Structure 1
Amino acid sequence: MVLEKDMSKIKVLHIITRLDKGGSAENTLLTVSLLNKEEFKVTLISGHTNDPDKEIASFITQKNLDYFLMPELVRKISPLKDIKAFFKIYHFIKKQGFDIVHTHTSKAGMLGRWAAKLAGVKIIVHTPHGHIFYGYFGWFKTKLFIYLERLTGPLTDKIITLTQRGKEEHVKYRIARPDKFVPIYSGIDVGKFVDFHADAVKEKEKLNIPLDVPVIGTVTRLAPVKGNQYLIASLPEVVKLFPTLKVLIVGDGSERGKLERYVKKLSLLENVIFLGICKDVRGILNTFDIFVLPSLNEGMGRCMLEAQALGVPVVATKVGGIPEVVRDSIGGILVPPRNPEAMAEAIINLLKNKSLRDNMSEEAKRWVGHRFSAGAMVEKISDLYKELIGAM
């Protein structure tokens, strides 16, 4: 596919390693689809996704996006594929002559920024989508990533962090000069959630949950850094007071088997339901009385925005960018990480107090609608692009 030349528009290339379901992919797809097509000519490159490619293809066709699949672009370190991906990106950029290259996530960020620099691109922007400074990898791999980010930071004109906390962490680890960082909150399609009117009764029926049974849950990756074992560890205390409680865990990952065994060990098989990956979580979220996120590290926690947009109060750990997403004691309750006792206390407090949940529900909806819309996010990114172009 050859792109048509349009000298009147700013040509922007977005590169992301993969478009698997999750915050980084959703952020990127919203950005490329909502940028003003009268001002920008936008192209997207990604590697293969683990989700059905036809779903991505359907979205791209619906939004009329210029999209190029690059199979060599993979998440794991693969010297041969990485070299091939680097040169393919380089030649693509040289041929198309982009004004701006905007990379997303670690691997695409490394390969894309160096390829863009070598190809002579004047403006390079990067969004890390969280950070990998602790909790995600072992000691050696973490140190390697930090070293590579420090090498690549000087090539980058602006680095968009999802929160102010994200900026502070990157500066702390000396990834780049402080003036290179721009915090822009990751937005969601607020209307998709605020205007969602599923019948909670029917949703509970689908899950075989009686109407009067309290429901809490989470939408997360089942990985060590997400701290799901601490949510499970908090449940025995909660179940003592609410024996019929149902806990819905949406998501999958390497820890699933371990977590299922832990649930069995704590005799919680009647309470905890692992639902796996769900295409559309809105109906499930609509059954929640409380959304719980027990992460040990979190760039932002996009799923909490979606829960709050639906009016679900949140109990979450006070780590990473979460305190910027959930207002403690207003839209939810924040607790220390790795503290099942504090988490149980917060869950019990909210389950006992419906009026408090109702108040938090209204506050959460207002907060997300005002501060975290996709439109507001893309407007700020658009302004940043134009500011950088104007400074050339």
Structure 2
Amino acid sequence: MFSIMTQNHQRGVSKPLKILHIAFTMHARGTETWLMNVLRRIDKNRFQFDFLTVEGEKGIYDQEILDLGGKLHACPHPGNKGAFLRGLRKILQEKGPFDVIHAHPYTLSGLALMQGARAGIPVRIVHSHTDRRKARRDKSVIRRAYIGAMKKLISRTATYGLAASDDAAVSLFGKNWNKDPRWNIMHCGIDLEPFKKTKTKEAMRKSLGIPQQAHVMGHVGSFHFEKNHEFLLHLFEKMAKSDLKLHLILVGDGPLKQKYEDRVKTLNLEKRVIFTGVRSDVPDLLKAMDIFVFPSLFEGLGLAVVEAQAAGLPCLVADTVPQEASIVDGAVEFLPLENADEQWVKAIKEKFEGNRIDAARALNQVSSTPFNIDHNVTMLMELYDTLSGRQDSKDAA
């Protein structure tokens, strides 16, 4: 359970706590999808979720947020720091008062929490969803100095912090993070209900135009450099020459998607590599796969790996992904990325030939862990109540 330092202020339980999430464009990505799963389940009589969005950018979840009683507040793009700060200050003044500000971007959370502190928001939560330590090594001196300054600002302005894994905590809060009672781990969970009523492998392969006897590897993730589609397609190209049954399903969207679509066409592999785009039926798509391959350069946790295990898939995962992502017994194998082409090729072949994982057992195992979204919702409601002082008010009553 969390280590919680209760705030001094208290309020009655009649009005919902008003929480502003800083997440920007609400597309179907890991953090945003997790937030939507929380919003769908949280007690709307006790908690009001508002979301800071970016002016001129429409998110795939925007309408559903409104339908669920949430609110959207558009702000200038954070690339223009001055305009962003002025816009956020105006939102906090005109759309508040907010009881909680919950910031999800990496270092940019520092600016949001600073404005929250200036606006008098008593509970200011920073949430580290990723481990960006390796990415920072490639940044310029100026960029690294900026990141260092933002981390110090976060430490000064956050009243509480969550991280998706130990690696994500070290990345944002430092290696001695567990000595500060403000910082705590909360593994982000997934919605397990869709995994209980998926379509069959045969039906999904037919809908995707994949032969029933094909060897299908798959991946779920946005087309950004950290997801390492470069390495994934390199492996596929290497194996596709000798395994004519090999197919690849790529689920997601992003700025690099067109680059890889063009590359696949150039290699005349477009009938064997399926780009699905953003989909709402990921559990069904996972059923079409034989194995799940996840070679990320860095991750806070890797929720897609949790989903793949819930679907009963054997998973080959880069050793850059936190060990906490391994949940189902015997499902996950971690492999290095450096000079390891043949090791990955060998492992993929072995997974195709190996024993299947019992899907019902896998789903049951994931259900009993903190990676169940219902567990997250219960913990978050308790956290918001306690930090705001409302839990104290209820206990006193």
TM interval, shorter chain, is 0.7 to 0.9
Q: Would you say the 8 A contact 2:55–2:75 is kept in 1?
A: no
Q: Would you say the 8 A contact 1:146–1:173 is kept in 2?
A: no
State yes or no: 1:141 paired with 2:143: yes
2:86 partner letter: K
CA RMSD across the alignment: 3.0
Q: Which runs of 5+ in 1 are unaligned?
A: none
What TM-score does the superposition give when structure 2 sets the normalisation length?
Answer: 0.83
Counterpart residue number, 1:358: 357
Write the distance in 2 (CA, Å) between the matches of 1:346 and 1:85.
51
Write the distance in 1 (CA, Å) between the matches of 2:230 and 2:265.
12
Q: How does 1:287-366 map to 2 (within 5 A)?
A: 287-321=288-322, 323-327=323-327, 330-338=330-338, 339-353=340-354, 355=355, 357-359=356-358, 361-362=359-360, 364-366=362-364
Q: How far did 1:24 drift?
A: 1.2
Q: Which runs of 5+ in 2 are unaligned?
A: 1-10, 393-397
Out of 14, 19, 28, the position equivalent to 2:26 is 19
2:190 partner letter: I
Q: 1:350 to 1:329 in 2, by over 3 A?
A: farther
Write the distance in 2 (CA, Å) between the matches of 1:370 and 1:172.
30
What SS does structure 1 have at the residue aligned with 2:217?
A: strand
Counterpart residue number, 2:367: 369
Out of 90, 93, 107, the position equivalent to 2:92 is 90
What SS does structure 2 have at the residue aligned with 1:203?
A: helix
Q: How far did 1:117 drift?
A: 0.7
Q: How far did 1:138 drift?
A: 3.1
Q: Would you say the 8 A contact 2:151–2:172 is kept in 1?
A: no
Counterpart residue number, 1:283: 284
Q: 1:358 to 1:41 in 2, by over 3 A?
A: closer
Write the distance in 2 (CA, Å) between the matches of 1:66 and 1:108.
23
Tell which deviates more after alignment, 180-189 or 277-286: 277-286
Write the distance in 2 (CA, Å) between the matches of 1:50 and 1:30.
24
1:369 partner letter: S
Aligned length: 376
Deviations 1:247-280 (A, max 9, x none): 1112233333443465467775553333333343
Q: Would you say the 8 A contact 1:99–1:122 is kept in 2?
A: yes
Q: How does 1:235-254 map to 2 (within 5 A)?
A: 235-236=236-237, 238-239=239-240, 242-254=243-255
Tell which deviates more after alignment, 286-295 or 8-17: 8-17
Q: How far did 1:386 drift?
A: 3.0
Write the distance in 2 (CA, Å) between the matches of 1:199 and 1:190.
17
Counterpart residue number, 1:163: 165
Write the distance in 2 (CA, Å) between the matches of 1:362 and 1:168.
35
Q: How far did 1:54 drift?
A: 7.0
State yes or no: 1:79 paired with 2:81: yes
Q: Would you say the 8 A contact 1:234–1:340 is kept in 2?
A: yes
Counterpart residue number, 1:47: 53
Q: 1:292 to 1:163 in 2, by over 3 A?
A: same
Q: How far did 1:211 drift?
A: 0.9
Q: How far did 1:385 drift?
A: 2.4
Q: How does 1:180-259 map to 2 (within 5 A)?
A: 180-193=182-195, 195-236=196-237, 238-239=239-240, 242-259=243-260
Q: Would you say the 8 A contact 2:170–2:177 is kept in 1?
A: no
Counterpart residue number, 1:124: 124
What SS does structure 2 have at the residue aligned with 1:134?
A: helix
Tell which deviates more after alignment, 309-318 or 336-345: 336-345
What SS does structure 1 have at the residue aligned with 2:368?
A: helix
Q: Would you say the 8 A contact 2:52–2:74 is kept in 1?
A: yes
1:219 partner letter: V
Write the distance in 1 (CA, Å) between the matches of 2:64 and 2:337.
39
2:128 partner letter: P
Same amino acid, percent of matched pairs: 20
Q: 1:329 to 1:380 in 2, by over 3 A?
A: closer
Q: Would you say the 8 A contact 1:158–1:181 is kept in 2?
A: yes
Write the distance in 2 (CA, Å) between the matches of 1:176 and 1:154.
16
What TM-score does the superposition give when structure 1 sets the normalisation length?
Answer: 0.84
What SS does structure 2 have at the residue aligned with 1:334?
A: strand
Q: Would you say the 8 A contact 1:24–1:105 is kept in 2?
A: no
What SS does structure 1 have at the residue aligned with 2:135?
A: coil
Deviations 1:54-103 (A, max 9, x none): 75213431x2x23133142x3x411343133232233146xx33332222
Write the distance in 1 (CA, Å) between the matches of 2:147 and 2:179.
17
Out of 178, 181, 198, the position equivalent to 1:179 is 181
What SS does structure 2 have at the residue aligned with 1:233?
A: helix
Write the distance in 1 (CA, Å) between the matches of 2:238 and 2:107.
42
What SS does structure 2 have at the residue aligned with 1:179?
A: coil
Q: How far did 1:148 drift?
A: 0.9
State yes or no: 1:31 paired with 2:38: yes
Deviations 1:228-249 (A, max 9, x none): 1212222355436632111111
What SS does structure 1 have at the residue aligned with 2:38?
A: helix
Q: Would you say the 8 A contact 1:20–1:51 is kept in 2?
A: no
2:367 partner letter: G
